[in-house]
Amino acid sequence: MNALEPVKTAIRMEHITKRFGSVVANHDINFVLKKGEILSLLGENGSGKTTLMNMLSGIYYADEGQIYVNDQPVAITSPKDAYDLGIGMIHQHFKLVDVFTAVENIVLGLKDEGRLDLKKARQRIVEICERYGFEIDLDRKIYEMSVSQKQTVEIVKVLYRGAEILILDEPTAVLTPQETDKLFAVMRNMKADGKSLIIITHKLHEVLEVSDRVAVLRKGEYIGDVQTKDASQQSLTDMMVGHAVALNIARPTPVNVAPRLVVEHLTVYDDLGVKRLNDVSFTANAGEILGIAGIAGSGQRELLEAISGLYPISEGSIRFHDPKASENAPPKELVGMDPMAIRKCGVSMAFVPEDRLGMGLVGSMGMTGNMMLRSWRKGKGAFLNRKAPEELANRIWKELDVVTPSTSFPVRRMSGGNVQKVLVGREIAQDPAVLMTAYAVRGLDINTSYTIYNLLTEEKMKGVAVVYVGEDLDVLLELCDRILVLCGGQVSGIVDGRTADKRQVGALMTRVEGDSRHE
Partner 1 sequence: MFDLVSFIPRAVMQGIPLLYGSTGEILTEKSGNLNLGIPGVMYVGGICGVIGAFFYEQAVPPESMNAVLAIGIPMLCSLAGSLLMGLLYSVLTITLRANQNVTGLALTTFGVGIGNFFGGSLIKLTGSEVPSIALSATSAYFSKGLPFAADLGWFGQVFLSYGFLAYLAILIAIVSSYVLKRTRVGLHLRAVGESPATADAAGINVTRYKYMATCIGSMVAGLGGLYYVMDYACGVWSNNAFGDRGWLAIALVIFTIWRPNISILASILFGGFYILYLYIPSGLNLSVKELYKMIPYVVTLVVLIIVSMRKKREDQPPANLGLPYFREER
Partner 2 sequence: MNNKLKFHISKRAALPWYKAWAIRGAAILAALVVCAVVTTLMTGENPISIYATIFYGAFGTARRSWVTVQELAVLLGISLAVTPAFKMRFWNIGAEGQVLIGGLATTACMICLADTLPNSMVIVCMVIAAILAGAVWGFLPAFFKARWNTNETLFTLMMNYIATQLAAYFIIVWEVPKGAGKIGIINQSTEIGWLPQIGNQYLLSILVVAILTGVMYVYLNNSKHGYEIAVVGESQRTASYAGIKVERVIIRTMVLSGAICGLMGLLLVGGIHHTLTTTVVDGRGFTAVMVSWLAKFNPIAMIFTSLLLVVLSRGAGEISSAFGLNHSFADILTGIILFFIIGSEFFITYQISVRKSAGKEA
* DSSP assigned state of 141: B
Q: Write the secondary structure of 269-296 as one string of H (helix), E (strand) and C (coil).
A: ECCCCCEEEEEEEEEEEECCEEEEECCC
CB of 228 to partner 2, least distance (A): 32
Q: Given candidates 15, 66, 75, 97, which one binds partner 1 under the rule CB under 8 A?
A: 97
Report the partner that residue 139 touches, choosing among partner 1, partner 2, none (CB closer than 5 to 8 A by kind). Answer: none
Report the partner that residue 57 touches, choosing among partner 2, partner 1, none (CB closer than 5 to 8 A by kind). Answer: partner 1
Report the partner that residue 224 touches, choosing among partner 1, partner 2, none (CB closer than 5 to 8 A by kind). Answer: none
Q: In the complex with partner 2, which residue's Cβ is closer, 391 or 501?
A: 391
Query: Terminal CA-to-CA distance of the chain, rounded, Å?
Result: 49
Distance, CA of 492 to CA of 414 (rounded, Å) = 38
Q: Binding to partner 2 by residue 359, rule CB under 8 A?
A: yes
Distance, CA of 103 to CA of 115 (rounded, Å) = 15
For residue 318, report the phi and psi dihedrals to the nearest 5 degrees: -130, 110
Q: Given candidates 19, 27, 34, 95, which one binds partner 1 under the rule CB under 8 A?
A: 95
Binding residues for partner 1, rule CB under 8 A, total: 32
Report the partner that residue 75 touches, choosing among partner 1, partner 2, none (CB closer than 5 to 8 A by kind). Answer: partner 2
Distances (CA, A) of 254 to 445, 462, 466, 482, 504: 27, 10, 12, 11, 23
Q: Binding to partner 2 by residue 200, rule CB under 8 A?
A: no
Q: Binding to partner 1 by residue 128, rule CB under 8 A?
A: no
Q: Binding to partner 1 by residue 168, rule CB under 8 A?
A: no
Report the partner that residue 100 touches, choosing among partner 2, partner 1, none (CB closer than 5 to 8 A by kind). Answer: partner 1
Q: Binding to partner 2 by residue 273, rule CB under 8 A?
A: no
Nearest Cα residue to 429 out of 394, 481, 469, 479: 394
Q: Binding to partner 1 by residue 108, rule CB under 8 A?
A: yes
Q: Could you give the 3-state DSSP secondary structure of residue 366?
A: coil
Q: Checking DSSP bridges between strand 64-69 and strand 9-20, what pairing results, if any?
A: antiparallel
Candidate segments 15-23, 48-56, 143-151, 451-459, binder of partner 2 by CB under 8 A: 15-23
Binding residues for partner 2, rule CB under 8 A, total: 43
Distance, CA of 286 to CA of 324 (rounded, Å) = 13
CB of 313 to partner 1, least distance (A): 22
Nearest Cα residue to 130 out of 159, 101, 154: 159
Candidate segments 77-85, 185-193, 418-426, 482-490, binder of partner 1 by CB under 8 A: 77-85
Radius of gyration from C-alpha coordinates of the chain? 25
Q: Could you give the 3-state DSSP secondary structure of residue 169?
A: strand
- DSSP H or E segment with residue 10: strand 9-20
Report the partner that residue 162 touches, choosing among partner 2, partner 1, none (CB closer than 5 to 8 A by kind). Answer: none
Distance, CA of 296 to CA of 213 (rounded, Å) = 27
Candidate segments 121-129, 201-209, 352-360, 483-491, binder of partner 2 by CB under 8 A: 352-360
Q: Given candidates 1, 3, 4, 22, which one binds partner 2 under the rule CB under 8 A?
A: 22
Distance, CA of 509 to CA of 203 (rounded, Å) = 15
Distances (CA, A) of 338 to 147, 291, 305, 323, 384: 30, 25, 11, 21, 22
CB of 306 to partner 1, least distance (A): 23
Candidate segments 2-10, 73-81, 100-108, 433-441, binder of partner 2 by CB under 8 A: 73-81
Q: Binding to partner 1 by residue 79, rule CB under 8 A?
A: yes
Q: Binding to partner 2 by residue 74, rule CB under 8 A?
A: yes
Q: Binding to partner 1 by residue 141, rule CB under 8 A?
A: yes
Q: In the complex with partner 1, which residue's Cβ is closer, 271 or 513?
A: 271
Whether 254 contacts 464, CB under 8 Å: no
Q: Binding to partner 1 by residue 74, rule CB under 8 A?
A: no
Q: Could you give the 3-state DSSP secondary structure of residue 4?
A: coil
> Alpha helices of 57-98 — where are they, by DSSP H?
79-84
Whether 190 contacts 110, CB under 8 Å: no
Report the partner that residue 5 touches, choosing among partner 2, partner 1, none (CB closer than 5 to 8 A by kind). Answer: none
Report the partner that residue 74 touches, choosing among partner 1, partner 2, none (CB closer than 5 to 8 A by kind). Answer: partner 2
Nearest Cα residue to 422 out of 464, 393, 451: 393
In the complex, the residues that contact partner 1 under the rule CB under 8 A are 20, 57, 59-60, 78-80, 82-84, 89, 91, 95-100, 104, 107-110, 112-116, 141, 143, 157, 161
In the complex, the residues that contact partner 2 under the rule CB under 8 A are 20-22, 61, 66-67, 72-77, 81, 84-85, 308, 310, 338-340, 343, 351, 353, 355, 357-365, 369, 372-374, 376-377, 382-384, 413
